[in-house]
Structure 1
């Protein structure tokens, strides 16, 4: 992993850094079950997930309350927030105060496809 980023004066120790930068080592812990998706929409802004971010999704993790996940709802993949309801049951919801609660009707089918472990925000996207 890279060292921390100094927001003041550079450290004299910077001249002795030898490790090559490899963000994948930090971000991907289980390559066989890790995928990347691009986020569209603003339903998770309270969790720091923004429109245009890239989500790193690990399918090997068991979701828990507080996680952001990729859920397949009625056949469509969607990023959602996992919340704990009264009584201990887990449910999916938005993480945007401008949106009401997520309500699925009785005929809806939902399954969690994977847990979002990281989001990457492009500050200067590469030209396409």
Structure 2
């Protein structure tokens, strides 16, 4: 997905104070800077796109049904990273593993089997998942 270079960016305040996930802390009235989510989540917008997740094979990686994935095609996929892969014409989100000369697509949910990509299959990596967006 390409972002229009002429579209206005939208910034929101980014506060210096960290938010306590345990006991509440006093709020600081100081803004460190503003945060443009486009710049933060899409540093390479020309090579990025979004996908909506369907299914629950990646719940161990905190990727849930209905989440939105930010995918960057410019990042070279490394073993251990979560990627969007095309396998025999089907798109899937899995952890890419390279072991003993084999390519594996590993779900992060024990209810799903690991996929071993065979040389005769049509396989490619479309991009690396850089962010997961889900509603609280």
TM-score w.r.t. the length of structure 1 is 0.80
Contact 2:102–2:116 (8 Å) recurs in 1: no
**Pair 31,37 (structure 1): closer, same or farther in 2 beyond 3 Å:** same
Higher helix share: 1
**Match status 1:10 vs 2:26:** yes
**Match status 1:30 vs 2:44:** yes
Secondary structure in 2 aligned to 1:20? strand
Aligned position for 1:98: 111
Aligned residues: 120
* C-alpha separation in 1, matches of 2:34 and 2:108: 36
TM-score w.r.t. the length of structure 2 is 0.76
Instruction: Calculate the aligned-residue CA RMSD, in Å.
Output: 2.1
Gaps of 5+ in 1: 124-128
Could you give the per-residue CA deviations for residues 16-52 of structure 1, whole angstroms, max 9, x where no partner exists? Answer: 2163342222211211101111111011111111111
Gaps of 5+ in 2: 1-12
Of structures 1 and 2, the one scoring higher in RCO (CA 8 A, sep 6+) is 1
